Amino acid sequence: MFKAVLIERDERPYRATLTALDEGRLPAGEVTVRVEYSTLNYKDALAITGKAPVVRQFPMVPGIDFAGTIEESTHAGYRAGDRVLLNGWGVGETHWGGLAQRARVKADWLIPLPAAFTAKQAMAIGTAGYTAMLCILALERHGVTPDSGEILVTGAAGGVGSVAVALLTRLKFRAVAVTGRAAEADYLKSLGAVEILDRAQFSSPGKPLAKERWAGAIDVVGSHTLANVCAAMRYRGVVAACGLAGGMDFPASVAPFILRGVTLAGIDSVMCPQARRLEAWRRLGSDLDIGRLDLLTEEIGLSQAIARAAGFFDGGTRGRIVVDTAR
């Protein structure tokens, strides 16, 4: 038996409960992992609360991340005792995920736990931090360097934004943070942000082109915010778009792209090819100041995950939430 958050929808209303499950109920897969740490992400919160149709099959164990130790493997590439982590691949949406003490998955979805991190540290990074690194890799591939100019980070107090600010600072970029929570200014400055801007400056309809300022940007919001960010990019600037917290729409014009040569790079962390995942985690091992993880991480027990999910929608969550599955 193992404990798990289980989402059900049948003759009774949509619901999430902490329950004990028999290992025989685990889905098919080549590798069974004893999960030590998971995370609570925005997508997990949507799944647990039912605020968006994230879950595609029922019953479902949510949790798009986990790290732990392999207990059983029928795959030649892994054996019992190997330390591994997982991000994405539809886990927690179409396949049972990481908010549990056990997980059974395809071996190709795993990567070895980098030697630079413990399981807890890897989950303090999680999909959010791995996505932030994918964004920075995209900026670099398009020629953005610390000498290019300021990098804007929207939703900066959240998981992706917090890690992005910390990474950019370590890489000698000047990171400017956008947040709707003025109380988080000191927190963002502690991560290295050189300036804090109110999200209200970006959340309303704007002009097709604004004064050039940003050499690069990492956007987790979408909608008017993304449109306004694109409008204020410098010539040949690059925007890495990885989120939709403000909406899926993109009410913009082609002006920034055809008049300033701006690049809009889409970042997908869920189905990202394995080679790029490994590159992102390798760079996280060398470029992230581990000492900053404590500044942006809160640890909770598995028993607290359901109650904490609602905090993602009332402004009560910042940085990363790591879930200790043992409690």
Could you tell me the domains of the chain? 2-113+291-324 (3.90.180.10), 127-266 (3.40.50.720)
| The two three-digit tokens of residue 178, written as one number | 């956008």
Q: How many CB atoms lie within 10 A of CB 36?
A: 21
State the Cα angle at 216 between 156 and 234, rounded to 5°: 130
In the prediction, which pLDDT does 15 show?
94
Q: How many CB atoms lie within 10 A of CB 210?
A: 15
Beta bridge partners of 83: 69
Pairwise CA distance, residues 296 & 319, whole Å: 5
Question: Average pLDDT of the chain?
Answer: 95
Which of 74, 66, 91 is closest to 30 using CA atoms? Answer: 74
In the prediction, which pLDDT does 99 show?
98
In the prediction, which pLDDT does 151 show?
98
| The two three-digit tokens of residue 233, written as one number | 């990019």
Exposure class string for 221-245: b at 16+ Cβ within 10 A, else e:
bbbbbbbbbbbbbbeebbbbbbbbb
| The two three-digit tokens of residue 65, written as one number | 């991340």
Q: Per-residue confidence at 105, pLDDT binned at 50, 70, 90?
A: very high
In the prediction, which pLDDT does 292 show?
84
Helix (H, G, I), strand (E, B) or coil at 157: coil
- E strands, the chain, are 2-8, 15-21, 31-39, 65-73, 83-87, 102-105, 110-112, 151-153, 175-179, 195-198, 214-219, 233-241, 263-266, 297-301, 320-324
Q: What is the mean pLDDT of residues 100-111?
A: 97
In the prediction, which pLDDT does 201 show?
95
Does pTM top 0.85 for this prediction?
Answer: yes
Radius of gyration of the chain (CA): 20
